[in-house]
Amino acid sequence: MMAFFFSLILATGLVATPAPDSVIALTNARIVTVTGDTIERGTLVMDRDVIVALGPDVAIPQSARVIDCTGLTIYPGLIDSGTQIGLVEVGSLAETRDGSELGDLSPQMKALTAVNPNGVAIPVTRISGVTTVLTEPSGGMLPGQAALINLHGYTPMQMYAGFEGVALRFPRTGRRGRFDRRSDEDVQKAADKAQKKLDDTWDGGELYHRIDSTYRAAPEQGRRPEYVPSMAALLPVIRGKQTLIIYVDTAKDIEAAIKWVEERKIQKVVFSGLAEGWRVADKLAAANIPCLVGPVLSVPTRSSDRYDKAYANASLLHEAGVTVALRSDDTANARNLPYHAGFAATYGLEKEAALRAVTTVPAEIFGVADRLGSLEVGKEATLFVADGDPFETRTRIHHVFIAGYDIPMESRHTRLYDEFLSRDPALKKHERN
């Protein structure tokens, strides 16, 4: 059964056309650059993977393949700041889940290693305009390193979009869904225990850093430190070279995490989740920690909360001065990222801020704003062409380019539509003898 199953994955994984046309010009388009002014009617020219020209009066190179975009709008590819794309194929089947390693302390595990470029969700997601996603390991306190990937490529390294961060699931005092029937005391006890484990681990990491640094300063005088891969993986974070992504949701936990980050002097840090972020928005703003917020489409955390608090969360954080990027926290339906942004916009976030929260802001948070997140000359040609507001449900995406590759607008979902809308022939039902 599993053999059949894997062959199915391989047979149906869609990969884009191998080589990009060297030069493509998108003409007569409205161009939403995000960082600059919107060009109401203009042309964007890509040469292989880079935007080489963009503006109302751009000369179209002779060699260019021209795509007329009259009535259409070009946007930078959307970035989802939290998914498990490539790591989880079928949610209920352990054989198809690679995002979770055993144990609590595995920061050395790299999501990128396990990204399956043939994942069926990849084409499904990208043809909705979501071109780039953070794909995250899960399970345990330090589940591993999340990776930013573009949703096109034959190998994980081709997909790699230039950011890896160490994930930390901060000790939680919230309840894990409605079947969590632990008492208040037990919840607190578990959180305290986890907090101690985290502190002990970090002490270990800092000690390892001291030993390792001393050795490196004069390797000939000492012997190599013990091989402790989990601690070694924390070194870039402790040394301020790599980002720590802290997953934290309840108000109380967020406050604890802010304090912990200060105490431990973590230099590069982002928070993710933030279901109750709005409650402590001022503290998050004061701590100046960027936030990957979402899912927006979720229910309020407390039964006493106003019904729309989850929708409004991103807006309330933004208003308080927090740097907000959005995440779907989904895999099969990360394609709905634009709707998460749309709901955030409907419930208080300015549309422009909502757009930035899925383009430039995550690009900046992940340190890839020089290539992704906006339409500018010199940046990567990762963009899509839509017939309207990308947050509107009915809007169609007509073209997607990832690093200049003209992505086929196909996925399992579109192909089944094409095959079955008017199924032919009407199949005969054979009678049993």
Site residues for other proteins, window 75-94 (CB under 8 A)?
A: 88-93
Could you say which residues in the range 311-350 bind other proteins, by CB under 8 A? 316, 319-320, 329, 331-333, 335-336, 339, 342-343, 345-347
CB of 371 vs other proteins, minimal distance in Å: 29
369-398 mask for other proteins (x: CB under 8 A)?
----------------------xxxxxx--
Q: How far apart are CA 114 and CA 88, in angstroms?
A: 10
Q: Is 48 in the site for other proteins (CB under 8 A)?
A: no
Please count the residues of this chain forming the interface with other proteins, following the rule CB under 8 A: 84
Q: Is 43 in the site for other proteins (CB under 8 A)?
A: no
Name the pairing type of β-strands 50-55 and 291-293: unpaired
Closer Cβ to other proteins, 180 or 262, answer by number = 180
The C-alpha torsion from 315 through 362 and 72 to 117, rounded to 10°, is -130
CB of 428 vs other proteins, minimal distance in Å: 11
Query: Taking contact as CB under 8 A, which single stretch among the options 72-80, 243-251, 261-269, 398-406 is the one that binds other proteins?
Result: 243-251
DSSP-assigned letters across all residues of 42-76: EEEEEETTEEEEEETT-PPPTTPEEEE-TT-EEEE
Position 74, amino acid: I
By CB atoms closer than 10 A (0-12, 13-18, 19+), residue 86 is: buried
**Could you say which of 220, 265, 420, 433 contacts other proteins (CB under 8 A)?**
420
Query: Taking contact as CB under 8 A, which single stretch among the options 23-31, 72-80, 214-222, 278-286 is the one that binds other proteins?
Result: 278-286
Q: Which residues contact 357 (CB under 8 A, 6 or more apart)?
A: 293, 314, 318, 324, 325, 326, 341, 344, 349
Closer Cβ to other proteins, 95 or 203, answer by number = 95
What is the sign of the dihedral through the CA atoms of 73, 363, 329 and 355?
Answer: negative
Could you say which residues in the range 172-191 bind other proteins, by CB under 8 A? 172-182, 184
- Determine the Cα angle at 298 with ends 295 and 299, to 5°: 150
Query: Taking contact as CB under 8 A, which single stretch among the options 20-28, 97-105, 214-222, 263-271 is the one that binds other proteins?
Result: 97-105
Could you say which residues in the range 126-145 bind other proteins, by CB under 8 A? 138-139
Closer Cβ to other proteins, 42 or 99, answer by number = 99
Closer Cβ to other proteins, 19 or 94, answer by number = 94
Q: How far apart are CA 255 and CA 248, in angstroms?
A: 10
CB of 267 vs other proteins, minimal distance in Å: 26
**Could you say which of 67, 105, 114, 121 contacts other proteins (CB under 8 A)?**
121
* Long-range contact set of residues 173-182: C-beta below 8 Å, sequence gap at least 24: 173/250, 173/252, 173/253, 174/249, 174/250, 174/253, 174/275, 174/301
Contact between 384 and 77 under an 8 Å Cβ cutoff? The reply is yes
Q: Is 298 in the site for other proteins (CB under 8 A)?
A: yes
Q: How far apart are CA 346 and CA 343, in angstroms?
A: 5
